[in-house]
Chain A
Amino acid sequence: MAENDYRLRCMRQMLRIRLVEETIAERYAEQEMRCPVHLSVGQEATAVGVCDVLQSEDRVFSSHRSHAHYLAKGGNLNAMMAEIYGKRDGCIGGRGGSMHLMDPEAGMMASIPIVASSIPLATGTALSDKFDGNGKVTVSFLGDACLEEGVFHESANFARLRGLPVVYVCENNLYSVYTNLADRQPERPLTDVAKAHALESRHVDGNDLDAVREAASWAVETSRTGTPTFLLLDTYRWREHCGPNFDNHIGYRTEEEFQTWRVRDPLERYRKQLEEAGVLSAGSYAELERTLQAEVDAAFTFAINSPLPEPNEARAHVYA
């Protein structure tokens, strides 16, 4: 029963994230969400599978593609939508937009849109938590391009040297903007990079929720005892790097490639799996979808009705 509980919980969480992002995509052309958005449609299983094994006081750091991580960690949906709409009730009052989602009360520490920039911050909170012996784990979500940045290596070296409770979760979606991994890195298992820093690692299908969750459970518990870990999760970004559209026609990737990943939709796969296992019925799924869409629509309404912040608020909080 406990197993089924987590399955339904994760199913619900993936569907909720999907509906939020699809609604963003639908409404983006209204020009009311006036900030860049980086959607993670197609990548929900990595965020949900990892965050589901975390305690609420565990910490997460994210990047520019932060919606799924924020929601999976329990960030407030209304505050997220208001932030994307640039409204006063946004999680940081319109200071950051979609690329700076955070909800420290939910353990969602920060999203930093400079590639790899949040990796040492995650390593630093892990250092502090180790000092305090409080048992917390920090998860650092990073993309495949982060392995090209020096600061990943600097952080991983230090984390292993000091035995820090940090999990580096690499969501490999093959692209950095329009550039394929093959044009950025030599062919070798990405886990070898972690191995070079003496990190223990697992490599699983990032679109398989159960596989992600099981690997994350191992990684989180291993790092909690002082051995930092690295997870490599293969996944795929359905829509364009930045914005609501599909961009398979512009020439940097093929429609065929997209379709091979499209059929590996983590949400659809999991739904089928649960239906086949008799855990979920078509009717209850449709009902769940209706309930969640109502919540999402309410969050959009909340955001639209929230006032714009006043210009003088821009001067606050420069110094503590």
Chain B
Amino acid sequence: MSMPEPASAAGAPVINMGTAIRDGLLEAARRDPSVIFFGEGVEDPGALFGTLKDIGKHIGHDRMIEMPIAENGLIGVAIGAALAGKRSVVTLQRVEFALLALEQILNNAAKMHYVSRGNHKVPLVLRMIVGRGWGQGPEHSQSLEAIFAHVPGLKVIMPAFAEDAKGMVTAAVEDDNPVVVIEHRWSHYTTSAVAEGYVHRPLDGPRTVRQGDGLTIVATSYMTLEAVRAADGLAEAGYPVEVLDLRVVRPLNLDPIVESVARTGRLLTVDTGFRMFGIGAEIASEVTSRCFDLLEAAPVRMGLPDHPTPSSRGLVRGFYPDAARIARTAGEMMGLEEATISQVEEKILADRGDVPIDVPDPFFKGPF
């Protein structure tokens, strides 16, 4: 499987997404002395999964603010610092910790520019890591982008590929708005050739990572990798489908999605989060409103079922959408023969082999 990564310098070093994010943050902080980092364990040996490793050595330790265990207060402090001209970058080890800070995020970060009639700016990056896998359980594995995407004034981004992630976190730091970055732990491990030095990717919306006329798949974050794998299986069987990596959840740029669906006539969304009230629901609804007459089938949403994430690898069987299920759903939507669908599905399952369900498939490690 090859993953299209535009604009990688020829011969650029292959690194994983976690390292790419770290490199992007470091470049942004080197260019702008007003960038300061906050985190619980901001410079500890783990350095937030390595994503802040040695940044203090390069830019000075005074710009690395160790957070007391006080998410609401410290995110409020980061917002206050942003009001006074700093570019605050807060990293949370898990998305769930942000729930302690919803008051500050939804009331102050999201509204301060608006309610000051443009007088105040809140250049703030809130990085939140989705901790799927290896028994993380109901309160360490959620992908809660829909909560943040619901609120005007926030931007929400979900990079899936290493170089893209490097450029997008740089853009997030340079943005004058609060930007929530949802980072999927399993995407951190994926590798790509990543250009060295300064990389900037505008936060402008979906990117097409596979082309095809049979169906449009819109996927977020790690689910983009599963969708690409499904698309490659379908393409091999002679049924190429389109895969759009959503990248930016808010502001939601629907134009490329509507354009694609107008061509394929079919929409399948694949979320990292819960299916109900999720990103896919918003996309399916908008697309249906905008090009109902061009749809050849009802849109289908895939996402997590309507119960919390259990810890046991026994209980999570079937919990997450995967490439085989995406391929089957897409095949059924396109009206393919059962034999064809089974063949694609079995090939995907065979390629995965006996990799345990609760660790990332090394197939996805790349380099992409």
Selected from B73, B74, B85, B177, the residue in CB contact (under 8 A) with A128 is B85
What is the CA–CA distance of A125 and B77 in the complex, to the nearest angstrom?
Answer: 7
Say which residue of B68, B76, B85 sits within 8 Å of A157 (CB atoms): B68
| Given A161-B68, A318-B153, A319-B153, A110:B112 Cβ within 8 A | yes
Contacts of B108 in A (CB 8 A): 112, 117, 121
Q: Are A317 and B114 in contact (CB under 8 A)?
A: yes
- B119: Cβ under 8 A from any A Cβ: yes
The residue from A119, A131, A158, A319 contacting B177, defined by CB atoms under 8 A apart: A319
Give the contacts of B181-224 with A (CB-CB under 8 A). Answer: none
Determine if B73 and A104 form an interchain contact, defined as CB atoms under 8 angstroms apart.
no
CB 8 Å contact bits of A32-57 with B (1 = contact, 0 = none): 00000000000000000000000000
Report the Cα distance A112→B82, complex, angstroms.
16
Question: In the assembly, what is the distance between CA of A59 and CA of B84, in Å?
Answer: 10
Report the minimal beta-carbon distance from B177 to chain A, rounded to whole angstroms. Answer: 5
Q: How far is the CB of B39 from chain A (nearest CB, A)?
A: 14
Inter-chain contact B36/A131, CB cutoff 8 Å: yes
Inter-chain CA distance A114–B75, complex, in Å, is 16
Asked if B70 is at the interface of the complex by the 8 Å CB criterion, the answer is yes
Contact indicator per residue, chain B 109-138, by CB within 8 Å of chain A (1) or not (0): 000111111111110000000000000000
For the complex formed, measure the closest distance between the CB of A51 and the CB atoms of chain B, giving whole angstroms. Answer: 19
A155 and B76 contact, CB distance less than 8 A: yes
Partner of A158, one of B74, B122, B176: B74
Query: B264 to nearest A CB, angstroms?
Result: 31
New A-B pairs, 16, CB < 8 Å, besides A124-B79, A129-B84:
A117-B103, A117-B107, A121-B77, A124-B83, A126-B80, A127-B77, A128-B85, A151-B72, A151-B104, A155-B76, A317-B113, A317-B118, A318-B153, A319-B113, A319-B155, A320-B113
Selected contact of A125 from candidates B84, B114, B117, B176, CB within 8 Å: B84
Please name all residues of chain A whose beta carbon is closer than 8 Å to the beta carbon of B75 when the two chains form the complex: 120
Q: Mark A97-137, 1 if CB is under 8 A from B, else 0.
A: 00010101000011010100101111111111101100000
Specify the chain A residue showing the minimal Cβ separation from B62: A131
Q: Which of B78, B85, B113, B116 has the most CB of A within 10 A?
A: B116
Is A114 touching B177 in the complex (CB atoms < 8 A)? no
B3 contacts the other chain (Cβ, under 8 Å)?
Answer: no
Q: Does A316 contact B (CB under 8 A)?
A: yes
What residues on B are CB-neighbors of A203 within 8 Å? none
B83 touches A112 (CB 8 A): no
- Cβ A154 vs Cβ B68 within 8 A: yes
Q: How many residues of B contact A (CB 8 A)?
A: 42
Chain A, range 145-167, C-beta contacts under 8 Å to B: 150-151, 153-155, 157-158, 161
| Bound-state Cα–Cα, A104 to B83, Å | 10
Say yes or no: A319 contacts B117, CB within 8 Å: no
List B contacts of A127 (CB < 8 A): 65, 77, 80-81, 86
Name, among B73, B153, B155, the residue most crowded by chain A CB atoms within 10 Å (CB to CB).
B73
Contacts of B107 in A (CB 8 A): 112, 114, 117
Closest to A161 in B: B68
Question: Sorted from nearest, which 7 A-B pairs have the closest CB atoms?
Answer: A124-B80, A120-B76, A154-B73, A154-B70, A128-B84, A320-B176, A121-B80
Min CB distance, B363 to chain A, in Å?
39
Contact at A157–B70, with CB atoms within 8 Å?
yes
Known A-B contacts A112-B107, A158-B73; A123 and B80 likewise in contact (beta carbons under 8 Å): yes
94-113 of chain B: CB within 8 A of chain A: 103-104, 107-108, 112-113
The docked-state distance in angstroms from the alpha carbon of A157 to that of B73 is 10
Does B152 count as interface, using CB distance less than 8 angstroms?
yes
Which single residue of chain A is at the shortest CB-CB distance from B85?
Answer: A128
